[in-house]
Chains A and B, each alone.
Chain A
Amino acid sequence: MQDTLEFEPTAYHVQKSNEGAALDITDFNLWYGQKQALFDNNLEIQKGQVTALIGPSGCGKSTLLRCLNRMNDLVDDLRIEGRITVDGFDIYAKGVDVIALRKRMGMVFQKPNPFAMSIYDNITYPLRVDGVTKKSILDETVERALQQSALWNEVKDRLNDSALGLSGGQQQRLCIARAVASDPEVLLMDEPCSALDPIATARIEELIEDLKGTYSIVIVTHSMAQAARVSDNTAFMYLGRLIEYGDTNTIFTNPQKSRTNDYVTGRFG
């Protein structure tokens, strides 16, 4: 089982090549019980770029995102068809080690969800569940992850304080630090700014700008302005279908489909 997807637990940072597809979604369908939520989605997430998923509520963008690290496995009565591949491996194939897969995909959630532990323990959590106990590696990871999430200067003196004492924006950046701690290939962000004020949002957006290149980022967002600001590519989804996917500039200035045009110009949604 471990062989299907190999993962190095010691999370030294490696520069990845920025070419080709990080994730390839092919003919992907999904049902919650009898109700179909995703219809024939085809999407190629480019390595090292920011891909935004936009669309009105209930269009399936979060569902699609949560399929990428198989977070939807927790839902009962779920059925899928089609393929999602990472480097050619089908992540829904039989015998895939889901845990190893999730280690390759950092995830940031809508609401900051730091664990009730110290800042240090929060960030080292992905490594510790992997059995890493060496203090030097843990220390190094904490500093690197906090530097990457632009939180180092604010918390370096209180790493052993509870993470719950941080402000909402800091907590969300901590969650990003936690997501990048195990040095994943892809960062999945599920409306990471929806619970934050504009200043904290701006900081997270700066952060996304900094992180791209190092990681392939998939971000679900409600804010078209945010998608326009941070993403390289944008996918517009509507009622479970991928309507249009392409370069962000093109989607926002010269969409091919009228429905995309209606949405990005604010005529509905």
Chain B
Amino acid sequence: MTSLNEQNPPASSAAGVAGVAARDAVAPRARRRFSADLSALGEPALWGFGGALALGIIMIAVFLMVVLYNGATTFWPKPIDRVELTDGTVIAGTERRGTVFRPQLAQLDDTARAEVEANDGFAFRTLYQTANFDLYGDDFRWVADFETANITQPEDFYYFERQVWGVFIGRIAGMQIDGQRMDYDAAEFARQQTAARERFREIRRIERVEIGRINHLIERERLAQRREVLRQGEEAAAPAIAQSQERIAELQAEFQVLQARVNDIRAHDRGFTVTLEEVNGRTIEPEISQIVRFFPANTLNVFDKLGIYVSRWWEFVSAEPREANTQGGVLPAIFGTVAMTLLMVIFVAPFGVITALYLREYAKQGRITSIVRISVNNLAGVPSIVYGVFGLGFFAYAMGGTIDQLFYPEALPNPTFGKGGILWASLTLALLTVPVVIVATEEALSAVPRSMREGSLACGASKWQTIRYVVLPKALPGIMTGMILAMARGAGEVAPLMLVGVVKLAPALPIDGFYPFIHLDRSFMHLGFHIFDVGFQSRNSEAGKPMVFVTTLLLLGLIVIMNATAIIIRNRLKRKYATGQF
């Protein structure tokens, strides 16, 4: 319309120049100062904006580099040093990191003190992973420069990753194959190790899958018995219980057979051992099946190292954790994180979108809607732990407790839904992220041009039809943006999850082969919590430290993948609903 003309910037600035000229002609003024001109040009502001952006980018880049460097180098095999100390002790280990420190001079002998004093009282020390926790009760040792007498890298030292007790560093003194003692033979040992691991996996499979199934069925029978008793009373349920007892007896017979098989394999397995000798000559003799991975750390070439590096990564993303989460994989945590985030999206998407639709399209805009809107925005600022407490109290205890009483009375007093679980965790996070979705959806809805709505209404469409066929499709990319933000926020959240269902080690995934296949009541593992746990809660936080970076890297990667997927979907929608040109 014509009012547009009045807002035309060239026209108004031209008028401004003309005005200044006219004033100058009337009364000559003092010259404008240079700084005023500069600010008029906006130059300092521009530097400010650019600087702020640069600062932000630098911080993000440094953060990413730290995570990337530490995460990516953790699995690279390092050489084993044999270190002789000045006091005669010998240790063997891999270098972790080094720092400068100020030693207590009084405790040093004369040569060491002289050396340290020459360095202004400072010395350098190195942290060695000496491993062999079962022998020494410690995994790490600091060694100062002035203590070190001699460092060698013996070729016969091996690095063993074991199923339990963590790493062992030492040489192979001999082995026992099927009960026969013999000298160490590298090729034979490698073959035996593969076979032994196969036995180990077989035992685990029987225990997990087959015995797990029987346990599951017995538990179901037991619950069914209690249910019958609760429903019909002790006497009336007696025949049903007798039948059920028969079935349990059958299952127990099956269990005995499987248990016998496991015992056989175990007994056979005990004939295959390896004698390992650490640097000071003490030996241990574990079963070969306990050795997850081993390599002669000082004789590896680049390709060997690469192979170990790749195999460690593969184990990390595909296996279960061992050694209190400081080693092994994080598959259950990856699974838990993804499952919980997707569940959260399923809850938050309809809820947030419907709320925003009502608030923006149907509710009368006024004081009450403003209050609701402000409250929703403020919800985003509530500390997430508060949501955790609410989730625990409301979802787990109140709702879950009621569900238990109504549907799972036979399992009481053991809670089924009346404790933290993946369902309650997802709902809590949905609650936490719903403000983001509401705000984004409202923005997207209000950005749909009025002309579109009018066009649809003028065609005789009802309000709902207009929203359904014209407004929502057009707003979808914006709504997706909200979902992406919510997803990133939800996937990275830890604090509330600790209260509503995340555990250090979950025995079973929320989805498995047992009826009803999806177990929303189960606790689960989460990468964010895993980081907290291995970094700060494990018996040996030094061992967990590298895992912090690796897990962070993985979590970041996972969020990037989930976001990228959502962004690709959004851009497809955007192209589809792009506004025309005219």
Contacts and interface: CB of A to CB of B under 8 A. Distances in A.
A111 B473 CA distance: 20
B454 A109 contact: yes
Contact of A166 (B458, B577, B578, B580): B580
Contacts of A112: 580, 582
A165 B580 contact: yes
B454 A113 contact: yes
A114 B458 contact: no
Contacts of B452: 113, 115
B458 A71 contact: yes
- Among A57, A109, A114, A129, the most chain B Cβ lie within 10 Å of the Cβ of A129
Contacts of A260: none
B446 to A, nearest CB: 14
A115 B470 contact: yes
A116 interface: yes
B456 interface: yes
A100 B460 contact: yes
A168 B582 CA distance: 5
Contact of A107 (B458, B461, B462): B458
Q: How large is the interface on B (under 10, 10 to 19, 20 to 34, 35 or more residues)?
A: 20 to 34
A164 B460 contact: no
B582 A57 contact: no
Contacts of B365: 76
B458 A106 contact: yes
B1 interface: yes
A173 interface: no
Q: How large is the interface on A (under 10, 10 to 19, 20 to 34, 35 or more residues)?
A: 35 or more
B454 A129 contact: no
Contacts of A110: 451
A74 B580 contact: no
Interface string A104-128: 0111011111111000000001100
Interface in A3-55: none
Nearest to A172: B582
Contacts of A113: 449, 451-452, 454-455
Given A109-B451, A168-B582, A195-B582, A116 B460 contact: no
Interface stretch (A175-183, A234-242, A245-253): A175-183
B526 interface: no
Interface string A154-186: 000000001111111001000100110010000
Given A113-B451, A125-B469, A102 B459 contact: yes
A113 to B, nearest CB: 4
Contacts of A103: 459-460
A120 B462 CA distance: 20
B566 interface: no
B582 A167 contact: yes
Nearest to B468: A129
A123 B578 CA distance: 19
- Among A76, A164, A175, the most chain B Cβ lie within 10 Å of the Cβ of A164
B99 interface: no
Given A167-B582, A195-B582, A116 B577 contact: yes
Given A102-B459, A116-B577, A178-B459, 10 more contacts: A99-B462, A106-B458, A109-B451, A112-B582, A113-B454, A125-B461, A126-B461, A129-B459, A164-B581, A168-B582
